[in-house]
Structure 1
Amino acid sequence: MSEGYVVRNLGVRVGDRTIVEDISFSLAPGQIVALAGASGAGKSMSAMTPFGLSAGVASGSAMLDGIELVGMPERDLSRIRAEKVGFVFQQPLTALTPHRTVGQHLQEAAMQAGGVKPDKAAMVAMLESVGLSRPEERLAQYPHLLSGGERQRVLIAAALAHGPRYLVADEPVSALDAALRGEIMALLVRLCRERGMAMLLVSHDLAGIEHHADRLLLLESGKVAEAGPAQQIATAPATDYGGRLMAATPRLSEPLHQLPDTGETLLEAEAIHVHFPKPGWRRGRIDAVVDASLSLAEGETLALVGGSGSGKSTLGRAIAGLGPMAAGSVRWQGTAMPPRNRRSSEHRRLIQPVFQDPLASLDPRWSVADIILEPVKWLVPHEYRAERAADLLEEVGLPRDFAGRKPSSLSGGQAQRVAIARALAANPAMLLLDEATSALDPLVADGVVALFDRLQRARGLSLLFITHDLALARRTAHRIAVMEAGRIVECAPREELFANPQAEATRRLIAASG
Structure 2
Amino acid sequence: MSLYRLDAMGVTIDGRDLVRGVSLEIAPGECVALAGASGSGKSLTSLTPFGLSAGTITGSAMLEGQELAGLDEADLRKVRRASVGFVFQQPLTALTPHRTAAQHLTESAMQAGGARPDRNTLVAMLDAVGLADPAIKLRRYPHQLSGGERQRLMIACAIAHRPKLLIADEPVSALDAHLRAEIMALLTRLRRETGMGLLLVSHDLASLEHHADRVLVMQGGQVVEAGAAQAIARAPQHAYSQALWAATPSLNAALPDDLHVPGAPLVEAQDLTVRFAGNGLFTRPVIAVDAVDLTVHQGEAVALIGGSGSGKSTIGRAIAGLGPVSAGAMLWKGAPLPARRSREQRRMIQPVFQDPVASLDPRWRVSDIIAEPLVHLRPDLTSWGRAGLVKKALQMVELDGALADRTPAGLSGGQAQRVAIARALVAEPQMLVLDEATSALDPLVAVQIVALLKRLQRDQGIAMLVITHDLALAAQFCHRAAVLEAGRIVEQGPMAQLIAEPQAAMTIKLVAAS
Q: 1:141 to 1:339 in 2, by over 3 A?
A: closer
Q: 1:257 to 1:324 in 2, by over 3 A?
A: same
**2:467 maps to what in 1?**
466
The 1-side partners of 2:345 and 2:396 are apart by 24
Q: 1:198 to 1:383 in 2, by over 3 A?
A: closer
Q: Tell me, yes or no, if structure 1 residue 424 matches structure 2 residue 428.
A: no
Q: Which has the larger radius of gyration?
A: 1
The 1-side partners of 2:302 and 2:469 are apart by 13
Q: 1:318 to 1:239 in 2, by over 3 A?
A: same
Find the residue that maps to 2:316 and give its secondary structure: helix
Q: 1:5 to 1:359 in 2, by over 3 A?
A: closer
How far the C-alpha of 1:197 sits from its partner, in A, is 2.6
**1:481 maps to what in 2?**
482
Q: Tell me, yes or no, if structure 1 residue 319 matches structure 2 residue 327.
A: no
The 2-side partners of 1:490 and 1:474 are apart by 16
The 1-side partners of 2:480 and 2:110 are apart by 52
Query: Tell me, which stretches of 5 or more residues in structure 1 are unaligned?
Result: none
Contact 2:123 2:138 in 1 (8 A): no
Contact 2:151 2:174 in 1 (8 A): no
The residue type paired with residue 169 of structure 1 is: A
The 1-side partners of 2:133 and 2:270 are apart by 37
**1:217 maps to what in 2?**
216
Contact 2:38 2:412 in 1 (8 A): no
Contact 2:361 2:408 in 1 (8 A): yes
Query: Given the two structures, how large is their TM-score scaled by the length of structure 2?
Result: 0.88
Find the residue that maps to 2:180 and give its secondary structure: helix
Contact 1:393 1:402 in 2 (8 A): no
The 2-side partners of 1:329 and 1:107 are apart by 43
The 1-side partners of 2:120 and 2:263 are apart by 61
Q: Could you tell me which of 324, 347, 372 is aligned with 1:349?
A: 347
The residue type paired with residue 414 of structure 1 is: Q
Contact 2:167 2:199 in 1 (8 A): yes
Q: 1:337 to 1:134 in 2, by over 3 A?
A: closer
The 2-side partners of 1:37 and 1:432 are apart by 29
The 1-side partners of 2:368 and 2:99 are apart by 40
**1:68 maps to what in 2?**
67
The 2-side partners of 1:106 and 1:379 are apart by 50
The 2-side partners of 1:76 and 1:372 are apart by 42
How far the C-alpha of 1:337 sits from its partner, in A, is 2.8
**1:44 maps to what in 2?**
43
**1:453 maps to what in 2?**
454
**2:26 maps to what in 1?**
27
The 2-side partners of 1:419 and 1:125 are apart by 38
The 2-side partners of 1:6 and 1:77 are apart by 16
The 2-side partners of 1:359 and 1:454 are apart by 24
**1:297 maps to what in 2?**
297
Deviations for 1:32-71, whole angstroms, at most 9, x for unmatched residues?
Answer: 1001112222112211222333332211122333333222
The residue type paired with residue 352 of structure 2 is: V
**2:306 maps to what in 1?**
306
The 2-side partners of 1:279 and 1:123 are apart by 18
Q: Tell me, yes or no, if structure 1 residue 329 matches structure 2 residue 324.
A: no
Larger mean Cα displacement after TM superposition, 265-274 or 159-168 = 159-168
How far the C-alpha of 1:154 sits from its partner, in A, is 5.3
Contact 1:177 1:308 in 2 (8 A): yes
Contact 1:265 1:295 in 2 (8 A): no
How far the C-alpha of 1:141 sits from its partner, in A, is 4.4
Query: Given the two structures, how large is their TM-score scaled by the length of structure 1?
Result: 0.88
**1:395 maps to what in 2?**
396
Deviations for 1:368-403, whole angstroms, at most 9, x for unmatched residues?
Answer: 444434335434444444333222211220123444
Deviations for 1:418-460, whole angstroms, at most 9, x for unmatched residues?
Answer: 3322332333222221222223332222211111111111112
Deviations for 1:441-486, whole angstroms, at most 9, x for unmatched residues?
Answer: 3222221111111111111222111112122112221111111111
The 1-side partners of 2:88 and 2:205 are apart by 18
User: How many residue pairs were aligned?
Assistant: 509
The residue type paired with residue 276 of structure 1 is: F
How far the C-alpha of 1:490 sits from its partner, in A, is 0.5
Deviations for 1:274-327, whole angstroms, at most 9, x for unmatched residues?
Answer: 223223445753222222112223322111111122111221222233333233
**1:360 maps to what in 2?**
358
Find the residue that maps to 1:489 and give its secondary structure: strand
1:40-189 alignment, distance < 5 Å:
40-92=39-91, 95=94, 109=108, 112-113=111-112, 137=135, 141=139, 144=142, 155-189=154-188
**2:230 maps to what in 1?**
231
How far the C-alpha of 1:496 sits from its partner, in A, is 1.0
How far the C-alpha of 1:79 sits from its partner, in A, is 4.2
The 1-side partners of 2:197 and 2:7 are apart by 18
Larger mean Cα displacement after TM superposition, 356-365 or 89-98 = 89-98
Contact 1:36 1:202 in 2 (8 A): yes
**2:511 maps to what in 1?**
510
The 1-side partners of 2:406 and 2:137 are apart by 46
The 2-side partners of 1:432 and 1:101 are apart by 29
Contact 2:262 2:298 in 1 (8 A): yes
The 2-side partners of 1:124 and 1:340 are apart by 37
How far the C-alpha of 1:222 sits from its partner, in A, is 1.0
Q: 1:443 to 1:120 in 2, by over 3 A?
A: same
**1:493 maps to what in 2?**
494
How far the C-alpha of 1:100 sits from its partner, in A, is 6.2
Contact 2:87 2:169 in 1 (8 A): yes
Deviations for 1:143-187, whole angstroms, at most 9, x for unmatched residues?
Answer: 547666666555445544544432222222223333322211110
How far the C-alpha of 1:130 sits from its partner, in A, is 5.4
Q: 1:300 to 1:259 in 2, by over 3 A?
A: farther
Q: 1:329 to 1:418 in 2, by over 3 A?
A: same
Find the residue that maps to 1:491 and give its secondary structure: strand
Q: 1:367 to 1:90 in 2, by over 3 A?
A: closer
Larger mean Cα displacement after TM superposition, 471-480 or 183-192 = 471-480
Q: 1:365 to 1:291 in 2, by over 3 A?
A: same
Larger mean Cα displacement after TM superposition, 451-460 or 141-150 = 141-150
Q: 1:131 to 1:430 in 2, by over 3 A?
A: closer
How far the C-alpha of 1:127 sits from its partner, in A, is 6.3
The residue type paired with residue 361 of structure 1 is: S
How far the C-alpha of 1:336 sits from its partner, in A, is 1.6
Larger mean Cα displacement after TM superposition, 308-317 or 494-503 = 308-317
How far the C-alpha of 1:189 sits from its partner, in A, is 0.5
Contact 1:270 1:292 in 2 (8 A): yes
The 2-side partners of 1:47 and 1:225 are apart by 17
Q: 1:286 to 1:242 in 2, by over 3 A?
A: same
Find the residue that maps to 2:25 and give its secondary structure: strand
Larger mean Cα displacement after TM superposition, 120-129 or 39-48 = 120-129
The 1-side partners of 2:510 and 2:234 are apart by 22
The 1-side partners of 2:387 and 2:504 are apart by 51
The 2-side partners of 1:321 and 1:198 are apart by 45
The 2-side partners of 1:406 and 1:210 are apart by 37
**2:204 maps to what in 1?**
205
**2:285 maps to what in 1?**
285
Query: Tell me, which stretches of 5 or more residues in structure 2 are unaligned?
Result: none
